C-alpha cells in the first residue's frame, strides 16, 4: 500500500533575463493566445522568480522550470535544466591597427600640452569676442600672452572712442 503519489507540476520554458542575485533567476516565459473576439494572436509574457541552487544558468539561457513549494516570498519555481546556453561569439582578439594607436598617442600628447599651457598661463585663452580659443589652437600656434594683451588694449581703445563719439552726438 506504499504507493508513490504522482504530483503533476506545471512546467514552463523561458529565457533568463536576470541572474544577478545568488541562487535566484528571473525567467521570462512568453505565450501566445488568440483574442476571443478579434482572433488576433496576442503574445503575453510573464516573469517568474526561479530557484537555482548551483547557479548554473546565466542571462540569455533558454531554460526549463518546474513549479515547487515556496522557497521564499517570490520564488515558487525551480530550475529543471538549461536547454540551450546563450550564444557567445568566440572571436579571438586581433591586434589594434597602428593608425588607431598613433591617433590615441597624438590626442594624449595634445591633452598634456594643453594642460601645461593652461596651468602656466593662468587659465584659458580668450579672444576679443570672449570665446575660449584654447581648444581650437595647438600649443605651437598659440599667440604669446603679451600679444593677446596688446590686442585687448587696442580693442578697448576703439570701444572708448566709439562711446565718446556717441556722447558727442547726443
Render pLDDT for 42-82 as a digit per residue (tens, 0 to 9): 999 999 999 999 999 999 999 999 999 999 999 999 999 99
Three-state DSSP class for 132?
strand
Render pLDDT for 114-124 as a digit per residue (tens, 0 to 9): 777 665 555 55
- Does CATH number 3.30.450.40 belong to domain 11-84? no
What are the residues whose beta carbons fall under 8 Å from the beta carbon of 127, sequence distance 6 or more?
133, 148
Share of the chain above pLDDT 70, in %: 56
Q: Where, residue-wise, is CATH 2.40.50.140 in the chain?
A: 11-84
β pairing state of 24-34 and 77-84 = unpaired
Quick one: which of 127, 131, 143, 8 has its CA closest to 66? 8
Amino acid at each position: 500500500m506504499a504507493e508513490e503519489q504522482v504530483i503533476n507540476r506545471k512546467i514552463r520554458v523561458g529565457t533568463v533575463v536576470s541572474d544577478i542575485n545568488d541562487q535566484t533567476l528571473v525567467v521570462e516565459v512568453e505565450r501566445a493566445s488568440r483574442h476571443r473576439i478579434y482572433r488576433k494572436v496576442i503574445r503575453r509574457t510573464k516573469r517568474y522568480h526561479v530557484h537555482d541552487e548551483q547557479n548554473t544558468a546565466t542571462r540569455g539561457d533558454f531554460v526549463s522550470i518546474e513549479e515547487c513549494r515556496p522557497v521564499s516570498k517570490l520564488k515558487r519555481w525551480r530550475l529543471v535544466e538549461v536547454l540551450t546556453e546563450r550564444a557567445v561569439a568566440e572571436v579571438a582578439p586581433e591586434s589594434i591597427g597602428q593608425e588607431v594607436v598613433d591617433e590615441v598617442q597624438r590626442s594624449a600628447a595634445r591633452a598634456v600640452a594643453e594642460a601645461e599651457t593652461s596651468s602656466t598661463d593662468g587659465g584659458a585663452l580668450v579672444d576679443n569676442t570672449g570665446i575660449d580659443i584654447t581648444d581650437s589652437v595647438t600649443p605651437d600656434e598659440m599667440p604669446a600672452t603679451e600679444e593677446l594683451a596688446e590686442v585687448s588694449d587696442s580693442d578697448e581703445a576703439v570701444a572708448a572712442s566709439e562711446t565718446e563719439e556717441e556722447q558727442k552726438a547726443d
